[in-house]
Amino acid sequence: MKKRLIAAAMALVLTFSLAACGGGSGSGAAADDGAAQESTDTASGSTTDVAFVTDVGNIDDQSFNQYTWAGVQQFCSDNGLTANYYKPSEDSDAARVEQMDNAVKDGAKVVVMAGYLFAPALEEAQAKYPDIAFLALDVSTGDLATPASNTALITYKEEQAGYLAGYAAVTDGYKELGFLGGMAVPAVIRYGYGFVQGAEQAAADTGASDVHIKYWYSGSFVANDDIKAKMDSWYSEGTEVVFACGGSICNSCVAAAQANNGKMIGVDVDQSNLDPCVITSAMKALSNSVILALTDAQNNDWMFSEAYAGKETTLGAAEDCVGLPMETSKFTAFTQDQYDTLFAALADGSLVVDNSFDTAATPAVTNVTVDYQE
């Protein structure tokens, strides 16, 4: 069941992203896509019911914008509501607030956004519009210290997705691994810690005694020549697969993998489209989490219930909000049955992954060797 729901979320993105388009109205709002326009003819009567304010980048970015928007569209399509997205004119808090203003003017009951950069704008908007619900993905109470009762923050159990990726890689026969982190922020650290723990358990289960992991934070979320050079050295020294975790740094890793016949594991969304070197991705099911939270708001007269209101809610396998895209993964030994067993254990709590995010701490390992690099 879980793998089918993950697959359904991926299908949403493929279906709805084909229709997404830019543009603007007199208020500065982005034009709705085909699916949103079709729902305008329903009983809604509003210009916008659910608004999505985009992060930096486009609606077809194959990342947070696209997958979050797909969830908004699916929810509105299923419920006869109108979805519109609003693209800020620049990367600034003022531009984000401006598009939230436009969404509210257009009648939005809920305003959705994704990414920690929204925290300052959200702090202003939640106070300015106490009767409007705000849903923010990947924004924590570390970013927005005091979410109001009309605000829901959703974060993810990245350590579970990282664990699945590490376990799958070692079970598939890879013994020389790498973890390339961007900046050492909590989400990235959790991915890495989970990856190490998964590799550790898989080594124990398969009897592998020579698994080695190189582990490095680049200090940047932007692709650059220094990161590519580092990855070139890793691959040339024998690293077989690198888990690249942090924005566009994956492009530096892909370039190095291509040059050295190496493999890569993607992050956050299914990145199999980047290059054939991507064997799998440690995913957050953004579309699923949007639908869960919007359903809660709709059932609570367009405000969030106690499950979400005024706090950070962390979603994982139990809610089908993390996982690997097995349908597009390129494993040769790790099987769907093995994945399903691991996923079920994470979901029911019988398998617990350490979710520490203290850079001074490291996961305890006895079956793998980890080389933490500066």
Give the tens place of pLDDT for each residue, 177-213: 999 999 998 899 999 999 999 999 999 999 998 999 9
Within this chain, domains 2-148+286-318 and 158-283+323-373 share the same CATH topology: yes
* Mean predicted lDDT score pLDDT of the chain: 88
Determine the pLDDT at residue 336: 98
Arithmetic mean of pLDDT, 328-353: 98
Confidence of residue 1 (pLDDT cuts 50, 70, 90): very low
312: tokens are: 């950070």
Give, as one character, the DSSP assignment of residue 29.
P
CA distances from 374 to 117, 217, 337 (A): 27, 8, 38
- Give the start-end residues of each E strand in the chain: 50-53, 83-86, 110-114, 133-137, 151-156, 176-181, 211-217, 241-245, 263-268, 278-284, 311-315, 322-323, 368-373
Determine the pLDDT at residue 138: 94
Closest Cα to residue 265, out of 171, 336, 160, 169? Answer: 169
Determine the pLDDT at residue 361: 74
Q: What percent of the chain has pLDDT over 90?
A: 79
90: tokens are: 């620049």
Higher pLDDT residue, 56 or 278? 278
Q: Residue 224 class from Cβ within 10 Å (0-12 exposed, 13-18 middle, 19+ buried)? A: middle
Model pTM? Answer: 0.86
The residue type found at 15 is T
Q: Classify domain 158-283+323-373 at the CATH topology level.
A: Rossmann fold (3.40.50)
Q: What is the pLDDT of residues 344-364, one digit of tens each?
A: 999 999 999 998 877 677 888
Residue 6 CA, chain-centre distance (Å), reads: 13
Distance separating alpha carbons of residues 203 and 180, to the nearest angstrom:
20
What class is the 2-148+286-318 domain? alpha beta
Closest Cα to residue 179, out of 234, 247, 251, 236? Answer: 234
Sequence spans of domains, the chain: 2-148+286-318, 158-283+323-373
Name residues whose C-beta falls within 8 Å of residue 69's C-beta, 6 or more positions apart in sequence: 16, 17, 20, 52, 54, 59, 85
